[in-house]
Amino acid sequence: MLKTLSIRTGLLSLLAVMTLLLLLVSGIGIYALTQSSSSLQRINHLQGEQMVQLNSGYTLILRARNEAGQAVRMMEIGMLDDAAKSVKNINQEIAQARKTLKGVIDGGVADEQGQKLLDKVAASLATYNQQGIDPMLKALNDQSADSYYDLLENTLIPVAAQFDNDMQVFQKWSEARGKAEVKAVQSSKNRVLTLIVVAALLTAGIIVLAWLVLRHMLLKPLSASIAQLENVAAGDLTHSLNDPASQEFNRLNAAIEGMRQSLMNSVLRVRDASSQIDTGSRELTAGNMDLAQRTESTATSLEQTAASMEEITATVKLNADNAEQAHQLAKSVSDTADHGSEMVCYVIEKMRDIAGSSARIADILSVIDGIAFQTNILALNASVEAARAGEQGRGFAVVAGEVRNLASRSADAAKEIRSLISDSQTHVNEGSELAQQAGETMDEIATEVLRMTKLMREIATASQEQSRGIEQVNIAVNQMDETAQQNAALVQQSSAATRSLEEQSRQLMDAMASFKLTAQTAA
């Protein structure tokens, strides 16, 4: 029941119980004070006001009787004036005593027995007044000593004795009643003290019970929640929190457990992603190293190709110059046939050289084409690896795209060069054939001067075209050389980025390694 009880309900229940106990103790105290006040008022009425007034009236009567005896003696010795004054004073004291006693008797007593005793006092007082006080006052006022003595001996003393006896009985009852009231107050006090002690013990028991309940409802679940949070803060996600508690702590524990599960899933995802990034970065690093080597080899081949193209350019220019000279010499070929024959031989040799150079250029272009194809494949592989790397490989994907674009341009340039070389070889072969025919027909050179002139013009035109084609090839080779250098720079940047990515993935894996997961979750 305590496990399903909410903290709010428990605290309100405890507050209600403590409030009831406080009200109970307060009610007991108020009741005790009320009873004590009533008892003290009764004691004060009996032992204080009532008895003081009753004793005061009784004392006045005794004093008047004593003064009456003195007044009578004054009368006997002739001190009539002094006796008259004394009698006047006696009358005043008797009047005051009657008034005081009448007030006490009219006030009555709350107790039935005490009222009966007070009624007896009133009756004996009335008899005392009628048979003793009034005749005594009459004898004093009449200044009759004999009447006084006769009243004193026959009537006054018995009725006074009866009044005195009734007064003593009432006084004893009043004293006993006061003692009973004091005892009742003490008994009430003892009962109140007992109730207060019981209430205090009950309060202490409730406080102890409340401490145990609060410890069970608050401290133990709170300690468990704090321990779980400390474990999570330390990176230990192996402990689960499933202990049942109050409604509030069940919600808190559910939230902490949800946080632990979410954090554990995040750690697992980050670990997997870090492992994949690390593997991809390693593969990408290896690919970059291979690509750097291939790029360096390509740059070397392009440098060799550029040097060869410079030689070819010089040779083609020389061929064009020689063709122009042959064209000029053809006009005078009839006079210089021998010299023309030598020039034809020279032309045949040069044509063979050109054919050899063209074949070499074709081989170099095959190598360039292969390099471009391999560079394109490497760029494709780099793009795939960059796509796997996601956001981290976006920059490398751009670099791989640029490398692929340059490889495509290199392949297109190689194709154009191959086409030009093919055309050049065609023209060279044609020139060789013509030169051979010219050598074979040297004897007929005089009659074929016009034809040879035409052929030489064609050779000169082809040489010029070949020269322009070689220049274009040279420009393309230079561009390929620049592209290879740019590729090398991009490869270096890509390698640096890959190394940085690998280092970051290792740091991320080290950071994730600080979290402890359960064996089942880690698997």
- Is residue 127 within 8 Å of 14, Cβ to Cβ? no
Residue 267: in which H helix or E strand, if any? helix 247-331
Q: What is the pLDDT of residue 16?
A: 84
- The CA-CA-CA angle for residues 442, 325, 443, to 5°, reads 5
Which residues of the chain does CATH 1.20.120.30 include? 7-207
Cα gap 435→432, rounded to integer Å: 5
Q: What is the pLDDT of residue 46?
A: 43
Cα gap 318→477, rounded to integer Å: 21
Mark 204-237 as b/e (b = at least 16 C-beta within 10 Å). eebeeebeebeebbbeebeebbeebeebbeeeeb
Cα gap 219→216, rounded to integer Å: 6
Q: Is 182 helix (H, G, I), strand (E, B) or coil?
A: helix
Q: What is the pLDDT of residue 340?
A: 64
Mark 341-376 as b/e (b = at least 16 C-beta within 10 Å). bebbeebbebbeebbebbeebeebbebbbebbebbb
Q: What is the pLDDT of residue 311?
A: 74
Q: What is the pLDDT of residue 342?
A: 73
Q: Is 243 helix (H, G, I), strand (E, B) or coil?
A: coil
Structure tokens at 209: 């019970």
Q: What is the pLDDT of residue 517?
A: 65
Q: What is the pLDDT of residue 48?
A: 47
Q: Which residues of the chain have pLDDT under 50?
A: 40, 43-48
Tokens 């609060």 sit on residue: 214
Q: What is the pLDDT of residue 203?
A: 83
Q: Which CATH class is domain 274-502?
A: mainly alpha
| pTM confidence score | 0.34
Which residues of the chain does CATH 1.10.287 include? 274-502
Cα gap 351→63, rounded to integer Å: 183
- pLDDT tens for 435-452 read 677 667 666 766 766 676
Cα gap 334→450, rounded to integer Å: 11
Fold of domain 7-207: Four Helix Bundle (Hemerythrin (Met), subunit A) (1.20.120)
